Structure 1
């Protein structure tokens, strides 16, 4: 899941300073020595100046080439190992040599760290999902066998539908998370009222719970992801907060906030932020814990934020906020 960053711009350095930093001191020494020998050779003609020039310039040339070529060779070696899947080799990236090599090594290190973290998150996610799918699939298999034998209860079809809906919701969360990770977010103008109506339909709730504070207007968002985020807030309140008491949509200062309130017991002290951690499970909860973590990821993918807290008088309030169009 992505996070927005604020970039600071600095005054570009003088061209000569940038040039001097990019060239190793040995190269500068080599050029200066060659110039001096050329001047001296021009004043004192003779073959012995060629010999002196060769004796002086050859080791300097070797030193300059070695100091530049060695870190480049090490960088190419590590890059080749990383290309073959060995991300652990990023710890061997060269730290010396010309500044350009250090910049490339730093960028390669950052890229490798990001890929390694994504792979670790994907492995953890697949392990959790495989565990969560195993239980409903086992229950579905058992109900099918009981129905075949004629020993299933009268509500077996409703139970099967509930298990299928749960697995479908889990797969939908996984696809949404993958779209965020791969930045496959398609922004287009959306009416806030349409988003609310679609989210209510997904959560199977009535419009009576909606309150608008200010003119809702439009947002620039991915329709599928934003509807999933708002319906995720409603579903979270219905599952863990007793029942949904209100969906408040506030529009002010160029932002639209979708806030869901419930009449449950609220968050225990100091645990509201933990609810947004991937795979977090509260007391008595089930599932892989993608709900609110996915909501925050969708909000951040739209340049917004998400948070939670307790309301005065009881219950919790969970919200997401994105820029208005």
Structure 2
């Protein structure tokens, strides 16, 4: 799923926002509910006032009650009174006793006091007879919700700050955990640990950061292979150059001592030409491995190209038999004539190089709906099955697997040796650069005997590039 991280973040932020508003609502209601009732201490004081009023009225009369009420109002800076709740019906009907006893002229002490009211309510505390009521407007000092404003600020500001901080911490950890691993892996990679990978530690995730880890691992894998390949190539190249340089030193000694100077000069030219070829092929291989170019700018006749290569090969290997079964025309688009020409030439020359004089090499080109299939078969000794993939590696000595060697041939000045082990490696890279593929296999007789090596090349008729 694309944008998985975006969806995950939206879900986390959305859930956090809903949770925030839900908690604010719950806590606001609870705070208002808990702060909307008169404190028990003040309830007791109001009940004591009612008891005193009842005692004064019953023992000392109305005048003493008036004096006491005035003193109470002055003391509490509020209004207070004592009233009877005698209900007189207009008709001849009687009121139920429960209704008469339950009549209230003000609020009960147990009722909720709405904090958003601007005025204080009248509190009603009945006397013992249930018909006389002590009424008092709740004194300001007894009004509940003294800390409601502070609680509101805490709920509306402190709570969101805390929750959003926790949400930010969760998101930070969720994002930074893989990024820290990526940072650590990058640091290790820069210090020379080319085996470090991070995707294995992110198996529980499947989002954009996992894709970033995949990209890093792919980059690290390719870079480590390139570095290993370049190191190996440098080592092999230095080894390959050592022998011709030794021969050149010997030839120089011959020239200095006037020992067969013509043969020594020919040897110098021969070794110099081979060294130049070796270095050029190594540089081309390094370029193809490192840059991985897309060679897709030409349209040409593949059959004509192969026919020219075969004619050149027949001239170079005049004592060999090369049979080409090609269609009259095979147009290929979005490819590279130079890259394919070099690759096919290397494969055909390699086949001729390892085929005895009495045997033959066959080149066969066919076409499907989307591909050209090129088969090149020789009649050499073949290659052991375990080495079929190895022959495409740089500097792999096919003579380890095939018995025919340069020692059995006469090497002439100016003739290519085909013995560096770069031909098939270059062919593979060049064919892959035009979106084709190449593989090697042995072909067998009915009795199961190896008849030689078969190289199969598939090339798209029209190469598609992103």
| Same fold at TM > 0.5 | yes
Q: Is the 8 A contact 2:188 2:196 kept in 1?
A: yes
Alpha-carbon distance between aligned partners in 2 of 1:321 and 1:214, rounded to the nearest angstrom: 16
In structure 2, the partner of 1:267 is 383
Contact kept, 8 Å, 1:22 with 1:98, in 2: the verdict is no
**CA deviation string 1:207-265 (max 9, x = no partner):** 98342333332223222221221111122123333357234241221433443333323
Aligned counterpart for 1:191 among listed residues 289, 292, 301 = 301
Q: Deviations over 1:85-113 (max 9, x none)?
A: 65559546874789433332332232222
Query: Residues 2-41 of structure 1 correspond to what in structure 2 (within 5 A)?
Result: 19-23=6-10, 25=12, 27-37=13-23, 39=25
1:259-294 CA-to-partner distances (Å, cap 9, x unmatched) read 333332333455444433444324266855333233
Q: Secondary structure at the match of 1:315?
A: strand
The SS at the match of 2:339 is helix
CA distance in 2, matches of 1:180, 1:247: 28
Instruction: Report the counterpart of residue 201 of structure 1 in structure 2.
Output: 312
Please report the TM-score for the alignment, with normalisation by the length of structure 1: 0.77
Greater relative CO, 1 or 2 (CA 8 Å, sep 6+): 1
Moved more, 70-79 or 235-244: 70-79
Distance 1:215 1:59, change over 3 A: farther
Q: Hey, what's the Cα distance between the residues in 2 that align with 1:160 and 1:200? A: 29
For 2:360, the equivalent position in structure 1 comes to 245
Mapped pair 1:52 → 2:155: yes
**Secondary structure at 2:375's aligned position in 1?**
strand
**Does the CA-based 8 Å contact 2:441-2:454 persist in structure 1?**
yes
Task: Say if 1:154 and 1:138 are closer, same or farther in 2 by CA, change over 3 A.
Answer: same
Higher helix share: 1
Aligned to 1:232: 346
In the superposition, relative to structure 1, how do residues 153 and 299 fare at CA in structure 2: closer, same or farther (>3 Å)? same
For 1:111-260, list aligned pairs within 5 A: 111-152=219-260, 154-181=262-289, 182-187=291-296, 188-192=298-302, 193-198=304-309, 200-201=311-312, 204-205=316-317, 209-220=322-333, 221-243=335-357, 245-253=360-368, 254-260=370-376
Please give the root-mean-square deviation of Cα atoms over the aligned residues, in Å. Answer: 3.7
Residue 318, structure 1, aligned to residue 455, structure 2:
yes
Unpaired runs of 5+ residues, structure 1, are: 1-11
Residues 225 and 298, structure 1, Cα contact 8 Å, conserved in 2: yes
Q: Distance in 2 between matches of 1:219 and 1:81?
A: 46
Cα deviation, residue 295, structure 1: 2.1
Query: Relative to structure 2, which stretch is displaced further, 270-279 or 221-230?
Result: 270-279
Structure 2: gaps spanning 5 or more residues: 33-115, 117-148, 407-418
Are residues 224 and 311 of structure 1, via their aligned partners in 2, closer, same or farther at CA, if it must alter by over 3 Å?
Answer: farther
| Greater shift in the superposed pair: 170-179 or 37-46 | 37-46
- The Cα shift of 1:131 comes to 0.9
SS of aligned partner of 1:155: helix
Q: Check whether the contact 2:20–2:163 (CA below 8 A) recurs between aligned residues.
A: no
Contact 2:363-2:376 at 8 Å conserved across structures:
yes
- Greater shift, 240-249 or 144-153, is seen at 240-249
Q: Secondary structure in 2 aligned to 1:64?
A: helix
Aligned residue in 2 for 1:308 = 441
Pairs aligned (count): 311
Aligned match of 1:281: 397
TM-score (norm 2): 0.56
Q: Distance in 2 between matches of 1:107 and 1:133?
A: 38
The answer on whether the counterparts of 1:210 and 1:248 sit within 8 Å (CA) in structure 2 is yes
